[in-house]
Structure 1
Amino acid sequence: MILFDPVQVEAARQGSRAALEALINAAKGPVFNLAMRMLAHREDAEDATQEILIKIITHLGDVRDIDLAGAWAFRVSTRHLAQTARLGRVEKMRLSFEDFAEDLHLGQGESSHFGLTEIEHQLALKEVKVGCTLAMLVCLSRSLRMAYILGDIFEMTDTEASDVLEISAGTYRQRLRRARSAISGFMQSNCSIHSASARCRCENRIAPALQLGRIAKGTAHLDSDQAGQMSPHDISQDVAVLETAQRSVAIMRSNPQFVTAVPSLVEQLLDRIS
């Protein structure tokens, strides 16, 4: 959820640049984390975050109850990502769970010949794991994906999530059930973290991911703002959390809090309206 200080909301509506910046700082994290899980691509998520923040800033005057401005901003975000945002690069691949399963089973290899150091190996393993969970989400339709993200990743109640999506609680629960069934069924059949009998091993996905340019040696793209500040031990701990999460929902929740800077486009907008 997005939490706004009502005093700052009122000040921003009166033209305070400092208040607008404070609201942007409060919104950018939740919006970007939602966008990353919906679009599964950092640049696409940053573009969508810019668009959403601009919508929030330029329509702040439409809010009737400033005490509920944060909830309103979150609804703006979900509506944009579920209905308005352009198809992202991963979405354009039109992945189905069947296609993704075939890619996982065929794309296995040995990574030792890449000469990765221990920290490079841990970074690559984390990128593979996070990238796989994001790709799984994109196999869902946008409506089912948003329901799953709100309910099982952000842990909203049925009432909260249906209110955000502006649908009935019954419709929301139906979407969530369908999304849960699809994700759980896919992991049960394919993910060795979830099921010991499944064929796909994250370790064996490093080599094809490097060969195809999906990840880069020594680089953490999906979590790039945090990775540079982490020690090898910290990265290993993150990977361990992913590996010990047995239920599909726990695996999804074990992804990092994605971090981004204040988009420059929004800074330019603030310069124009201040």
Structure 2
Amino acid sequence: MIRFDPVQVQAARQGSRAALEALVNAAKGPVLNLAIRMLAHREDAEDATQEILIKIITHLGEVRDTDLAGAWAFRVATRHLSHTARLGRVERMRLSFEDFADDLSRGQRAPSHLELTEIEHQLALKEVKVGCTLAMLVCLSRPLRMAYILGDIFEMTDTEASEILEIPAGTYRQRVRRARLTVSGFLQSNCSLQSRSAPCRCENRITPALQMGRIAKGAAHLDGDQVGQKSPLEIGQDVATLEAAQRSVAIMRSNPQFASTVPSLVHQVLAQMS
């Protein structure tokens, strides 16, 4: 959720550049985290975040109640990512859960031959795990994906999420239930973090991920902002103690909070408005 200071909202509407920049700083984190989970690709998410921030700061004068400006801004973001944003690179692959399961089953190889340092190995594990869970979300349609992200990852109530999406609460509940069942079923059948009998292990995905350029040796792309983030092994140990219905949610929530600088284009817009 985006939280705006009503005083800053009012000041921004009166032309204060400092207030505008404060609002952008308050919005960019929540927007980017939503965008990455919707588009599963950092550059695509950065582009969408930039577009959303520009919409927010250029339409701020339309907000009637400054106390509700944060909720309005988050609604702008969800509407953009659900209906307006261009298909991202991962979305254009048109992955189904069946396609993704097939990809996982064909790309399993122990990484012992790679001669990675312990730091490189742990970084690669985290990158593989985050990339996999994000790609899994993209297997859902945008309406189901957004419902799942708001409800099970961002932990919004049915009332909050349905208001943000501007749909009836009953429709929202149907969407999140369908998404939850689909994601949970996929993880149960394929992911060893969810079920020890499942065939796919993060460690065995490092080699194909490096070969296909999805990750780079010693480089952080998706998970670089969370140095202390738990490893897949630690996540698996935590998940094993949960009830089956909550395991998939725990895996999805274990992804990091992604961070970014304010996009340069937003600075340009702020300069033009000052």
The TM-score with structure 2 as length reference comes to 0.95
Q: Tell me by how many angstroms 1:242 deviates.
A: 2.5
1: CA distance between counterparts of 2:233 and 2:109? 21
Question: Is the 8 Å Cα contact of residues 189 and 195 (structure 1) preserved in structure 2?
Answer: yes
Q: Tell me by how many angstroms 1:220 deviates.
A: 1.1
1: CA distance between counterparts of 2:58 and 2:122? 42
1:140 aligns with 140
Question: Is the 8 Å Cα contact of residues 192 and 201 (structure 1) preserved in structure 2?
Answer: yes
Aligned length: 267
The runs of at least 4 aligned residues of structure 1 exceeding 4 Å deviation read none
Counterpart AA for 2:155: E
Question: Is the 8 Å Cα contact of residues 97 and 186 (structure 1) preserved in structure 2?
Answer: yes
Question: Which one of 230, 235, 239 corresponds to residue 242 of structure 1?
Answer: 235
Write out aligned runs for 1:126-165 (5 A). 126-165=126-165
1:21 aligns with 21
Question: Is the 8 Å Cα contact of residues 52 and 80 (structure 1) preserved in structure 2?
Answer: yes
2: CA distance between counterparts of 1:238 and 1:107? 20
Write out aligned runs for 1:81-120 (5 A). 81-120=81-120
Question: Is the 8 Å Cα contact of residues 12 and 20 (structure 2) preserved in structure 1?
Answer: yes
Write out aligned runs for 1:145-224 (5 A). 145-224=145-224
CA displacement, residues 167-199 of structure 1 (integer Å, 9 cap, x when unaligned):
000000000000001000000100011011111
Counterpart AA for 1:177: R
Q: Tell me by how many angstroms 1:238 deviates.
A: 4.1
**Does residue 1:46 correspond to 2:31, yes or no?**
no
Question: Is the 8 Å Cα contact of residues 8 and 20 (structure 2) preserved in structure 1?
Answer: yes
The TM-score with structure 1 as length reference comes to 0.95
2:244 aligns with none
Q: Tell me by how many angstroms 1:239 deviates.
A: 3.8
Q: Tell me by how many angstroms 1:223 deviates.
A: 2.2
Question: Is the 8 Å Cα contact of residues 223 and 259 (structure 1) preserved in structure 2?
Answer: no
Percent identity reads 78
Unaligned runs of 5+ residues in structure 1 are none
Counterpart AA for 2:235: L
CA displacement, residues 55-86 of structure 1 (integer Å, 9 cap, x when unaligned):
00000000000000000000000000000000
Question: Is the 8 Å Cα contact of residues 126 and 223 (structure 2) preserved in structure 1?
Answer: no
1: CA distance between counterparts of 2:235 and 2:48? 27
Counterpart AA for 2:101: A
- Provide the alpha-carbon RMSD of the alignment: 1.0
Unaligned runs of 5+ residues in structure 2 are 241-246
2: CA distance between counterparts of 1:42 and 1:138? 14
2:243 aligns with none
Q: Tell me by how many angstroms 1:110 deviates.
A: 2.2
Question: Is the 8 Å Cα contact of residues 109 and 204 (structure 1) preserved in structure 2?
Answer: yes
